[in-house]
Structure 1
């Protein structure tokens, strides 16, 4: 047993906004589970997102947190979608060890039309495009970027494709977003966002056991027999157990991460590590914006002047920074 970990022998209370790494040694499985609440509220409430857009961004936040918290270095993990759908852009940035910021761009008319037609599911809102997953270890290190097509599939399905193509590790995950009504100390009821997810990977000591089927050959000659690899029994069991998880279990803080892990894996024995908190934290600052403006040409800054001022609004946290153009006099 590793330091900071313990068997999940019975359901125990969970903190919100924390990722719980876990392992099921009997099934050669490792994973992470998370339930976010106040952090998600902080991100979504500062923008006037239509509910379907907020739900989609919530899914992306959970996916990014599940992946980003596995990083072992100081840096950033960025997940970004660019599509032709009503929600043209989603960006979630995870800065190690715990910072999260995110925003979305959408077309109001297109989203409203999708809602009215009953086609406001995440797949339809995204449409076709690409999902880029970027690992940024800093100024003096090369960036790594994986790109997977968005073809009308769910984020869960797209993430599975990413792992299959990029890491060749059998991976399963579930994502869910919901809203609940809570009564505050003032007696008023308010709605709050909750989002949860669980990601499990199959990591046996013997690499032969983790073999995956080859990728579809695409335009293969007619009659080509596709190569198939049967799942290992342990991995088949893990996937069957995850198939039993309902969306409301993932977002219900009355269930929580440890209770969910107990329900899924207690017969096999599941060990959980200490929860790792995640927080809403934007990295913008007046100093950073000043440096950005200072790096622009005089002509570019002049084009940014409105009403005698240069105003910059952070798309992530909505902070507004105002400058007098004279502050940059003498700047090349």
Structure 2
């Protein structure tokens, strides 16, 4: 079997718990899904790597939201990589697949030099949770810091949730038999300690405020359990996360057999976009006919493109806005 072949646990998130350590976690694989996400666009390699990392984080963090909820991750910066956005749509019903989509916006006129994370510059990492109609979405924000998107997510959980969290991710293209780049392979593991809620640490007199880190919330047995789980995670090999030969359950036993690993039902993931002509029409329904006219092309049409999946919509301006006529001539 080549690394580009489909394997049984592709595009899944497997939740688990280490009973002897009060640590929970998830093992994620995004292969066909990541290929489909990136196939919608023509991104240069550094941008593809940022999208791959963000999609993996989204799949693992998204598993915590309830049925029919939506989780979004956003990174905005002042560097060439201006925006990376992902959405996770929880299953509509128990046992159904979750859906994920992603896109990036970058400045094509600026050189993409240095490590991918450095292309973001200064900015923020945000997590948004939408519980549905009639509710106020939750939003948590942390500065871009730490050298990777994974580190930003770890800081978010320390700051906003006061939960020590660790991500270990690997992603990239496999090589075909002739040596050319093939399909994307992405895998990762998330660990999270569930201690008693710790008070928010305040800087001592004369100290500058700083971002909380997982180590700030650890003491005693919790610290020993957390450090032991992380030391074991550090022994994981890249091919164990992205290769075709080691199942996630076998990997958990190999890493944590002394910690009492217990797995739960896996969650399947697929690519999914929610754009539609009805949604485009609804978004334009607040505009008058005069305002719609300013959006009309020389050919007498109003067009819109989905940033996530590339779908193109071509509409009659007379049927748009709150002064619209029925039907499309």
Which bracket does the TM-score occupy, shorter chain normalised?
Answer: 0.7 to 0.9
Alignment equivalent of 1:63, drawn from 46, 57, 73: 57
Cα contact 1:82–1:130 (8 A) shared by 2: yes
Cα contact 2:145–2:151 (8 A) shared by 1: no
Match in the other structure for 2:314: 322
Map Cα deviations across residues 276-308 of structure 1 (whole Å, 9 max, x no partner): 101100000111112222232323311211121
**Separation of aligned partners in 1, 2:203 and 2:242:** 34
Of residues 247-256 and 149-158 in structure 1, the stretch that sits farther from structure 2 once superposed is: 247-256
Match in the other structure for 2:95: none
* Count of residues paired in the alignment: 302
SS in 1 for 2:248: helix
**Separation of aligned partners in 2, 1:323 and 1:166:** 43
Cα contact 2:165–2:192 (8 A) shared by 1: yes
Cα contact 1:14–1:257 (8 A) shared by 2: no
TM-score under structure 1 length normalisation: 0.83
Of residues 100-109 and 141-150 in structure 1, the stretch that sits farther from structure 2 once superposed is: 100-109
| 2:246 is aligned with 1:255 | yes
Alignment of 1:76-155 (within 5 A): 76-97=70-91, 98-112=98-112, 114=113, 119=114, 121-151=115-145, 153-155=147-149
Distance apart, 1:38 and its partner CA: 0.5
SS in 1 for 2:252: helix
Match in the other structure for 1:214: 201
SS in 1 for 2:43: coil
Cα contact 1:18–1:36 (8 A) shared by 2: yes
Match in the other structure for 2:183: 192
SS in 2 for 1:197: strand
Which stretches in structure 1 are left out of the alignment for 5+ residues? 1-12, 222-226
Residues 88/21 of structure 1: CA separation in 2 closer, same or farther (3 Å cut): same
Match in the other structure for 2:45: 51
Map Cα deviations across residues 151-176 of structure 1 (whole Å, 9 max, x no partner): 36311211111111111112111122
Distance apart, 1:215 and its partner CA: 5.9
Match in the other structure for 1:331: 324
